[in-house]
Structure 1
Amino acid sequence: MGRVEGKVALVTGATGGIGRATMERFVREGARVFAFARQEAPLRDAVAQYGASVAYATGDVTEEADVARAVASCLEAFGRIDVVFANAGVEGVVKPLTDVTAEELDEVYRVNVRGTFFTLKHSAPPMVKQGKGSIIVNSSILGITGMAGLSVYAMSKHAVTGLMRTAALELAPQGVRVNSIHPAPIDNRMMRSIERMAAPDAPDAVRDKFTSFIPMGRYGTNEEIADLVLFLGSDESSFCSGATFAADGAFGAF
């Protein structure tokens, strides 16, 4: 029997590295997954690979109507929602805060903050009705620390950490748990983008610098983050709520 056998998980940002790895991990452990993302082709591929274990909707987490429609579609497809992984996010720009434009600030906040807020707002009610559920917010190690050049990203991730804590307090009496995960650099597209923005002519040097900040001496993997999400979505974490879970190779221990 799988660790989330019979559960239904809603995953936003399901076509990215962490989202896709989480979707696959949950399916392997017995869950059905409703995937939500902007691009349809990778979602169709997931259905082709996993069949009836996966359903999907396309849309934009920054649009409240799209998020509400995704939640309704999940309920229509599977009848319930047991786990929500609010994963959709963008890295934004890498530059000093004094150089950040209002448009750049708004772009990151629309996805990372508005999108996460709408996901929790619309997915919580069916779980409250069930009397049980688990919401996992993908923040960042920069949601509990900071780093020069990434002010907008860090600020947005601190915001969703605060949202997680507030939601955990509001929803605990109804049996719904809310936690956040805080990855350090993960070996995926987002980090490649950050490395190139930081030093277009020397992205490998940026990677080496980031790696030097991590006592374990390497980036994490999408699969390692998916394993943490699986734990928080399973009944193994039944008394965990309102907590920040770092997956950072001791980055945040300084």
Structure 2
Amino acid sequence: MSTSTNRPVRIGLQLQPQHADYEAIRRTASAAEELGADVVFNWDHFYPLYGDPEGKHFECWTMLGAWAESTSRAEIGALVTCNSYRNPDLLADMARTVDHISGGRLVLGIGSGWFEKDYEEYGYPFGTKGSRLDDLAEALPRIEARLAKLNPQPTRRIPILIGGGGEKKTLRLVAKHAHIWHGFGDPEVVERKVDILDRHCADVGRDPAEIERAVGVSGAPEELGPQLLELGVTQFTVGVGGPDYDLGLLADWINWRDKQNS
């Protein structure tokens, strides 16, 4: 079992860009930063994931470029970029550009993709879960190689966050390439995933302590936080959707973080 590390507790917000006008999204991103969120994520879809399936929705990376200018302290990123939608070398260049615009605050979140409607409507081959994971495995070294070639270079080593809990392929990719792993689930699920991740790290010769553990949370911090901390999780992500972005739970987690880090 993974145990808590010396990493500080960090709190993220997944600001879901659905069912809202952009002004509300921009205002919420700034409000989250003012509350003290460590990182503000959006997601990489073309349609809402719940509610009216044809409701208002905005594109991920265009928005990240705007957030790079409209925020000033919090890290920003996608939770997560769909690998299928962009050439890996182009994605690396986009990430490097947003890194510079933001002054070194980008987190490059990426996953293999899963939302079939996005693929069908925008003309991307959906393939299979296995083929999409194989594509991600091929893309990650290309992203790393392109980041090393770009001029100017990124302002820092851009953290790569890989989202997903697949035990055979996804978590092995995390062990090989990621600086942050992001998953979802209750403490029992997370315990299983981090144990498997640790074993993959041993297989590839990676120190598991190099990988920050992040988990999406929807409950009270006093209930979930201590259990997840014991499993080595130090980043906790609250999700909110439009049109009314309620940051009450985010504020609770930020207050809890401040107590842990004091």
TM-score normalised over the length of structure 1: 0.37
Higher relative contact order structure (alpha carbons within 8 Å, sequence separation ≥ 6)? 2
Which TM-score applies when normalising by structure 2? Answer: 0.36
